[in-house]
């Protein structure tokens, strides 16, 4: 704003801020991934990630809630519990910040995935408002914006009626109700048969291919028998779905380990031989805890340890002061 006096600009910079997000921590990976923990005005923290790819894509992963109530056992955010829904503006702003920063470098934000903290479809109205703004105001194609869900069946059916072109990604991770319910409590409320019915309805209504997310856990859900059961489960969606295989991001609250390359290759082979499209997602930002909720989880643990040390020190000082 060169038409505003410098002194006034300095006053504005010192006393006013556009937006509601403040960077609490930023980490940069060797692969170029940038992860941020943002502080909100009420003290809550959320996470956003920018992932650059060699083919020119620049993908932002954004949060839809502070915390999460879904309780998935392998997810760092699920281990935290739920704080609150994000407003539409707080969701949109995460993408808008990356968009503006890339634009200054002559680059563009090409994709947005709502796979950060929270369950997007539990915050349905705010999420839909935010992604529509990303589409119209940031110029990101609707098909390049992905909304994920653990499987909130009524909301999937509601989204199908919107007739939007956004991509839907369903976190599946197991192919039978017993196994899925152990790691994803939401399955007890919306079992797999109901979920697949809703996915079929979504594909029929929108004409869009649906994605299924599968976190590969070593010796748990990564063998060829499980892959065969998954192929059976998705047979009605053959040619209309894609399976994204993601080696597990280890978290402090879950004992599982990521699958090895051989298991991943065999899993993909079984699915493809049965006509189910599948790929293994490239891990990004492993050295900076880029998985959903991991940075906030580590910060909270560090804060708790610091508080414990402070309490111990104060108790030691108090005991010393009372010694005659």
Active site members: 47, 292
Residue 233 and residue 210: Cα distance in Å, rounded?
Answer: 14
- Which residue, chain included where needed, has tokens 């349905």? 124
Residue located via tokens 């072109």: 165
* Consecutive H or E run containing 215: strand 210-216
Q: Are 32 and 52 in contact (CB under 8 A)?
A: yes
- Please give the Cα distance from 187 to 178 (Å, whole number): 9
Distance CA 31, CA 85 (A): 31
Q: Measuring CA to CA, how many Å separate 265 from each of 100, 106, 213, 228, 238? A: 38, 37, 16, 14, 20
Q: In the structure, how many helices (H) and strands (E) does the chain have?
A: 10, 12
> CB-based contacts of 28: which residues, under 8 Å, 6+ apart?
34, 35, 288
Contact 120, 114 (CB under 8 A): yes
Name residue 258's beta-bridge partners. Answer: 217
> Cβ(274)–Cβ(316) under 8 Å?
no
Cα(205)–Cα(199) distance, rounded to whole angstroms? 10
Residue 139 zone, left/alpha/beta (φ > 0; ψ -120 to 50; rest): left
């Amino acid at each position: 704003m060169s038409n505003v006096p410098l002194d006034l600009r300095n006053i504005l910079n010192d006393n006013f801020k556009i937006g509601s997000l403040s960077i609490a921590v930023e980490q940069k990976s060797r692969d170029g991934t940038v992860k941020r923990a943002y502080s909100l005005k009420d003290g809550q923290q959320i996470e956003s990630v920018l992932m650059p790819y060699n083919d020119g894509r620049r993908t932002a992963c954004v949060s839809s809630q502070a915390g999460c109530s879904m309780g998935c056992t392998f997810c760092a955010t699920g281990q935290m519990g739920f704080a609150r829904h994000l407003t539409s503006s707080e969701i949109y702003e995460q993408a808008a910040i990356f968009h503006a920063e890339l634009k200054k470098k002559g680059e563009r934000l090409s994709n947005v995935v709502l796979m950060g903290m929270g369950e997007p479809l539990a915050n349905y109205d705010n999420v839909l408002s935010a992604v529509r703004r990303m589409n119209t105001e940031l110029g990101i194609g609707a098909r390049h914006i992905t909304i994920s869900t653990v499987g909130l069946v009524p909301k999937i059916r509601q989204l199908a009626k919107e007739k939007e072109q956004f991509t839907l990604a369903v976190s599946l991770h197991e192919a039978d109700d017993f196994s899925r319910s152990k790691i994803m409590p939401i399955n007890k409320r919306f079992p797999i048969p109901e979920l697949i019915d809703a996915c079929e309805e979504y594909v029929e209504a929108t004409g869009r291919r649906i994605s299924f997310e599968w976190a590969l856990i070593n010796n748990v859900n990564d063998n060829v028998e499980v892959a065969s059961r998954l192929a059976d489960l998705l047979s009605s969606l053959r040619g209309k779905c894609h399976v994204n295989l993601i080696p597990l991001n280890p978290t402090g609250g879950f004992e599982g380990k990521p699958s090895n390359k051989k298991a991943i290759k065999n899993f993909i082979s079984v699915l493809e031989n049965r006509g189910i499209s599948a790929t293994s997602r490239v891990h990004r930002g492993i050295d900076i805890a880029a998985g959903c909720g991991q940075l906030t989880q580590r910060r909270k643990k560090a804060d708790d340890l610091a508080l414990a040390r402070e309490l111990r020190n104060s108790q030691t000082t108090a005991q010393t002061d009372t010694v005659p």
